[in-house]
């Protein structure tokens, strides 16, 4: 009968054997804390203002709110047909390739932009935030120029994917 009842019920009824306590320290298999230093330090811990000061309310801006979110989702959803269309239709149109490359580049730029905003806060790490921001701009420009050169002077992205797939 004891094997069919839950141990909590046995403890409540007083039928369970008392637990034997030992002085053994057990470590969890997957510990959540780490002794290593953080990649980015938490930054200066300073409080601005007083206890009774209201929270600052930013100026309303539609470009940073719902329109921005809607544009990101529309761009992400448009990548699905843009990726499938050149292969399904069988045409290797340079205009379709250019639209696909532009959409991928813009989608990647906006995604990395959100990573920088989330993980390298400007108020605690202004120098590092600025460095990451400029690195993102330089990387986006470099990849854009590389895609342009690949599209105009080589076979293009869609044809390259087809050749790799058949190899």
Q: Which residues are annotated as a binding site for a ubiquinone?
A: 119
**Cα angle for residues 92, 98, 140 (degrees, 5° grid):** 140
Feature table: binding site: 107, 119
**Whole-number Cα distances in Å, 4 to 1, 64, 123, 128:** 5, 58, 58, 59
Feature table: binding site for heme b: 107
- Give the whole-angstrom CA distance, residue 151 versus residue 161: 13
């Amino acid at each position: 009968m004891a094997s069919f009842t839950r141990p909590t019920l046995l403890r409540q009824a007083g039928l369970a054997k008392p637990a034997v306590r030992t002085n053994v320290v057990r470590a969890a298999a997957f510990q959540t804390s780490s002794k290593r230093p953080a990649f980015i330090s938490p930054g200066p811990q300073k409080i601005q203002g007083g206890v009774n000061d209201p929270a600052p309310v930013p100026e309303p801006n539609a470009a940073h709110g719902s329109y921005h979110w809607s544009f990101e989702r529309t761009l992400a959803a448009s990548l699905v047909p843009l990726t499938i269309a050149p292969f399904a239709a069988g045409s290797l149109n340079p205009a379709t390739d250019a639209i696909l490359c532009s959409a991928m580049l813009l989608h990647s730029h906006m995604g990395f932009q959100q990573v920088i905003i989330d993980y390298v806060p400007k108020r605690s790490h202004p120098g590092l935030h600025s460095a990451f921001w400029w690195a993102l701009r330089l990387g986006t420009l470099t990849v854009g120029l590389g895609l342009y050169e690949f599209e105009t002077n080589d076979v293009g992205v869609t044809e390259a994917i087809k050749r790799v797939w058949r190899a």
